[in-house]
Amino acid sequence: MEHGFTRLLRACGYMATGMNPAVLRRREGLEAVAAGFEGPPRGETVSVGDLSIHYRSHGRPDGDAVVFVHGSGPGASGHSNFRKNVDAFATAGYRVIVPDLPGFGYSSKPTDRDYTTAFFSEHLVGLLDALAIPNFALIGNSLGGAISIRAALDHPDRVTGLILMAPGGIEELETYLAMPAMAKMISNFVDGALDRDGLRRVLETLVYDPVHVTDALVDERWAILQQQPPEVLSRMIIPNMEAELSEIRCPVLSFWGADDEMLPASGGFKITRACKPARHIEIAQCGHWVMVEHTRFFNAACLDFLANG
């Protein structure tokens, strides 16, 4: 069976060009490190199965746990997605855990297995087991939203709340292929190797205002990209979980940018129709990264939801 992201690339004409998915890796390679590009700050690691999972911890060790689950894409990490959010939650008294998913950040990046939602969820929950965290709220963006949905379905007794920002995994692949940013992303991939300028163009497809794609963000993701094998994307499989949404038992808050060109905003209404209790917020002049583009509002709304349901 053809893997999800490989099928996406083929459908967009990428594989027909004769280019190998390895171009998603470095053109300048380790020269990026020599040139002084600085990666995300380092935290701690734990072993989950045969993988090393990197995470950063913030806030009160005895506070209620909130876990931020980042999205996909070249050079992604927990810090690059949530650098603007963790301090507000830590200041509010929560124990904040920001992991790097397998294949991303400073976590292990195996090339011999499929990157499925079940695989990601297993290692996310395994990290929390290693940290002796029995119950937790999940805050997930895009791929991280899909993983959070899977974890809430598989561990209903442990997930106390679910905050989703434009989650994947609730549409068929053909719906995602029809989104404009998908075509833009693929065109940047096929326009030669993904160099630093190409990475910036990819990230700019995720926001309404490109001012949010800073030099520091690009440098940080570029440094991680040098370590990221193409299998992380080419072997990623995210099934449609729409039919299971009604089985989620915890309260759900969802966000979507009205100008999101990566994942269709209609997904928010699927969540509110299926999940009880649930509420949905759609934000104008916002793309795929509500937590980055409307930080203050996002933080305040999440903290109110966590405190009051």
What is the full DSSP assignment across 143-188?
HHHHHHHHHHHH-TTTEEEEEEES-SSSS-HHHHHTSHHHHHHHHH
DSSP state of 92: T
Q: For 265-299, give the secondary structure using H, E and C.
A: CCHHHHHHHHCCCEEEEEECCCCCCHHHHCHHHHH
Q: Which positions are catalytic?
A: 288
Vertex 160 angle, CA 158 and 165, to 5°: 115
Find, among 178, 148, 163, 158, the residue nearest to 238 by Cα.
148
Tokens of 72: 């996909």
Give the strand pairing for 159-165 and 236-237: unpaired
